[in-house]
Structure 1
Amino acid sequence: MVDVAELAGVSQATVSLVLNGVANARISRATRRRVLESAEALNYRRGKAHPVPEGRQRVIGLFLDEVSTTPFAAQFIEGARDEAALQDVSVAVFCTRSDPALEQAAIDLLVAQKTIGIVYASLMTRQVTVPEAFSELPLVLLNCFEKKLRYPSVVPGDVVGGYTATRALLKAGHRRIAHMAGEYFVEAAVDREKGYRQAMAEAGVAIDEDLVQQGGWSIRAGRERAAALLALPNPPTAIFCFNDRMAIGCYEAARKLGMAIPQDLSIMGFDNEDLAANMDPPLSTVILPHDEMARWAVAELLDSYSGADQDERLQKVKFECELVERDSIAALRE
């Protein structure tokens, strides 16, 4: 991989993203083509049997801080499992709730078994301080990062995602666009609102601060915030919701007032939960690429044994959150 990166004139992380087929990584077509051509010229192939140092068990530990508070744990587990399986490696999942004793017990087990390493994941995107105990094995951070980069990390590009969602509403002609934000202690909520504000500013549209409703992530919160927005003397014509669950509540509030979606109100979600495609009408939303992020984390962990430059590996990679256009957005009626 080092030779491919040098020939293509890119980082080893970029080579890893391209050769692992990560579609949401923000890499241009020209760069992807250059990496693939360089790999071809060097006869480089990512085989199913990824080389693992002699004496290492073909096992990776996936640490999750929680599995029940969001639907995203399954995406982390499936993405990590699928990528590891391509290399004939198994994934052992540990739900520790960040409990130091549980984490140490799991680390001791993985070290004793001489496993490949650890993927340390957080269900909410956030800054973390990784306990020193994790230094006993190679480590990659998934959906979290440290202030001081000690380990490779991957997170979603929530700012760009919020920008993309808002741009879709602006392109449909809407100018009174509300944003139902999440709780501000959640980094994703802050970043998605930042993207919303950037898109509005770029379009030259002044934001009516009454249209920015903060607080919540649930269906109930969405229903309550939407009801408040739609009761304003000059209500919004479109609403960008922090997540798909708040969008469900938004649908309910609009229909209680006899409003049709998208004819009377356009709605944009975020996360692309399974339920979004089955709403009536199907919800336009933005993909949260947890599956592909987990794949990248496993590939990066395996590549830590390839002789890659360790300083170059210490970076925070952001994955693009792509727009999924369905039927909940309509052009603004004159």
Structure 2
Amino acid sequence: MVLLLPMQTSYLNTSGHIYDSEFINLVQLSQGSVKFDERTLFLNQEEKDFLNGQKIVEISDSIVVFKNKEKWGLIANLPKEEYIKGNVKSHELVLPSTVQGMLSNFHGYNGEAAPVLLGHESFIDLEIFVKVNEPDKRHAVNDYELFIYQGEKAAKLLSQYQELDQLFIGDGHHRLYTTSLSKFKQTVFACVMSFDYLDILPIHRLLGEVSDEMYLHALNFLSKKFELEKVTADSVLPKGHVRMSRGRDHYLIRLIDLASDAFWNNDIYRLNTQIISQAFRSFDQAEIQYISEEMLKNSESFSEQDVILETHALSKKEFIEAAKNDTVLPPKSTWVYPKFPSFLLMNKYQ
């Protein structure tokens, strides 16, 4: 049984602007407006003024059903006790440095601007629910249709989610873990979707501007220690392998199997320890860029000296089994898609 709650104090951005899910996680809300001030260092004054000027309307004590290109989901609040009790399954390692920064930011802001992403196995037919139950409010922007419910109709839909055994984190491990440590933040702003609507995509690695000397050193190391095959950019990438590309060079590298459990034999862990740290002598996570499938298609954005390490995605079955078995994978192991946009709905938590 999983408990979800209506958002007590929430806002809808009606400006018509829509932002990538990675844009902003936290927001300062005051007197029914966005109030970014001098504490926000990652935005310049012009950006703050633009965001502060966008019109938002209160939709408190509500849940939101949304439709995006035939995919449906629910926006609601998740009590942190559900995560603490283990009803929300995680699969990625959380980093202490990230948690420390988030705890500080939770104090500095009072609202969430992007929900965590949670998946579930059973199918809940939100399309039928919307057809049968007239929303209290509607809103549309770009490819998103929002159906806002309050009162009895909201409770009716949330009761269906109580029949779920568990939820699975698609995105937001650090936000959920950090909230569980907080004394004042009791809920997490959440986007909840069936795995029928979600895709599990790989996250590739990029080492920027690798010198010819370092590249040749790595290639020599890999040729001695690994099964290495020269391939084309569009060759098949099997599980347990990495495709390494630099300029017009493309190699298929077979990762070394380890006599251990699923954590140590995870492709991302083996990529980190066998190739990035050993072959390229890179031990600083800040040196690694993370790129999605979509970014990978835009090859014009990469230089001839960038080294791209492509990984194989987990299947949905593997993803769910890993979480159920409490297998902890390295950070940035999976990209679960689609994610709800940032700054379209905002949830005030203090």
TM category, shorter: 0.3 to 0.5
TM-score (ref. length: structure 2): 0.32
Task: Considering Cα pairs closer than 8 Å and 6+ residues apart, tell me whether 1 or 2 has the greater RCO.
Answer: 2
Higher-helix-fraction structure: 1
TM-score (ref. length: structure 1): 0.33
